[in-house]
Amino acid sequence: MLKKLLKILFKSSFSFKNLGKKEVILFDCDNTKYIKKFFKKENTFTLSVRLNRIKVIYLNKKVVLFILKNLFNNKLKTNYLLSLIEQIKPKLLITHIDNSQDFYLVAKSIHKKISCLAIQQAHRADLNTNPYKEIKNIFIPNLFCFSDYDKILFRNNKVNVSKFYSTGSLNLAYAFNYLKKNKIKKQQIYDICLVSEPHLNVQDEFNNIKNFADTCGLISIYTHRLCIEENLKLIFVGESVKNTLSGKREIQFYDKYLGKNKFNISQQAKSTFPSYQRIYQSKLTIGHVSTMLREAIGLKKKVLYCNFSGSEMIKSPLSGIAEIKKPSYKEFKKKVLKILSLSDKKYFDSLRIEYDKIMLPPSETFKNISDKIKKFQ
């Protein structure tokens, strides 16, 4: 920890001025691109919380006194963040990183004085896999979630969220807006869109599912084999950008499973929402636990959850026609061909739940979020 602190001190500049008041604090600079558009720039302050993203260290008298006063109440980092918030005196603290440990700690201290709001960024399947000792640390006073499904998911796992507001996926809303603006049609160019889910970090949220990586690999093997056998047009969408370190690692991951076959992962810049475009133009989207599957449902596109891990901790939001659990190529092929034979209407009619209970339509998200944010200001 001392080494990290020294590194931050060395690379950062210092400001000894007192901070002025702002109505809104955007918590965590790593993902403010979309939420900042709901506020006037002059009314917001972006608070960097990740050690590798802090560029300016504020070290005025008020900061020092606050840290000394609360030295034994919180960790140094939490005290530092709280001291800045106390100076800025916002009406609202908002983040688009709903799994931020820093947000949980800060919100627990200030939620009675300041409105604290998190906007859900991803499907939280990890709530089913993480031990309770981690889940009990989650503290979200107000959560803008994808749909009513998340209320059930969080409550079943006894997550400390005070209030839920179903608003939809903000990422999906911006993608949908891009599709409309650029007149990208909802046509069926591809038969299958396979969502890449490389398991690259043994310390991520699924590290206690021993065969998680092999499950993702098996899904890719089955999908490629089926497309070759049935002459189906496949698009394999990557989660990383080409020629980046993560992009190269993603290819290496799938090379382990598909190396004997020629495979191509589409790795494009995120600015044009390539994955959403491919889903929008495919008959069926296949994956494991990716958020993209729920977002595909929001676009009213057919999906198939391949829950091959065998773990009771991996739970799909949909069952029936939309899920397969048995790791059998024969059953996989039968299920996929059955879904492809169904019209979109018949597919959604066969689901045991209304699609908007899984993901609210993206056409409603901006208004949902904008209207609800006003109530916190």
Averaged pLDDT, 94-111: 97
Examine the pLDDT at 10 and tell me if it is beyond 80.
no
How many Cα atoms occupy the beta-carbon half-sphere of 94 within 13 Å? 27
Residues 85 and 78: their CA atoms lie apart, in Å, by 11
| Banded model confidence at residue 199, pLDDT cuts 50, 70, 90 | confident
Residues 168 and 146: their CA atoms lie apart, in Å, by 4
The predicted-structure confidence for 127-174, as pLDDT tens digits, reads as follows: 988 888 889 999 999 999 999 999 999 999 999 999 999 999 999 999
Examine the pLDDT at 80 and tell me if it is beyond 80.
yes
Examine the pLDDT at 52 and tell me if it is beyond 90.
no
Q: Worst-scoring range by mean pLDDT, 44-53, 188-197, 245-254?
A: 44-53
Percent of the residues in the chain that have a pLDDT greater than 90, as a whole number: 79
Averaged pLDDT, 352-366: 94
Examine the pLDDT at 22 and tell me if it is beyond 90.
yes
How many Cα atoms occupy the beta-carbon half-sphere of 28 within 13 Å? 20
| Banded model confidence at residue 205, pLDDT cuts 50, 70, 90 | low
93: left (phi over 0), alpha (psi -120 to 50) or beta: beta
pLDDT score of 164? 97
pLDDT score of 5? 63
Percent of the residues in the chain that have a pLDDT greater than 70, as a whole number: 96
Locate all alpha helices (DSSP H) within the chain, ordered by sequence. 2-11, 61-69, 76-88, 101-110, 132-135, 148-156, 170-181, 212-229, 245-258, 274-280, 291-298, 329-341, 344-350, 365-374
In what helix (H) or strand (E) does residue 46 lie, and over which residues does it extend?
A: strand 44-47
| φ/ψ (deg, to 5) at 235 | -125, 125
pLDDT score of 209? 81
How many Cα atoms occupy the beta-carbon half-sphere of 331 within 13 Å? 12
| Banded model confidence at residue 4, pLDDT cuts 50, 70, 90 | low
Among 82, 122, 81, smallest CA distance to 98 is for: 122
Among 227, 170, 242, smallest CA distance to 194 is for: 227
Q: In terms of DSSP bridges, do strands 302-306 and 282-287 run parallel, antiparallel, or are they unpaired?
A: parallel
The answer to whether the beta carbons of residues 110 and 137 sit under 8 Å apart is no
pLDDT score of 254? 96
pLDDT score of 313? 80
Q: Worst-scoring range by mean pLDDT, 212-221, 226-235, 260-269?
A: 260-269
Among 322, 275, 283, 303, smallest CA distance to 191 is for: 283
Residues 23 and 21: their CA atoms lie apart, in Å, by 7
DSSP string, 188-246: --EEEEEEP-----TTSTTTTSTTHHHHHHHHHHHHHHHHHHTT--EEEE-SS-TTSHH
Examine the pLDDT at 342 and tell me if it is beyond 90.
yes
The answer to whether the beta carbons of residues 173 and 33 sit under 8 Å apart is no
Averaged pLDDT, 87-98: 97
Residues 227 and 222: their CA atoms lie apart, in Å, by 9
The predicted-structure confidence for 278-321, as pLDDT tens digits, reads as follows: 999 999 999 999 999 999 999 999 999 999 998 888 889 999 99
Residues in the chain: 377
Among 265, 283, 298, 268, smallest CA distance to 174 is for: 298
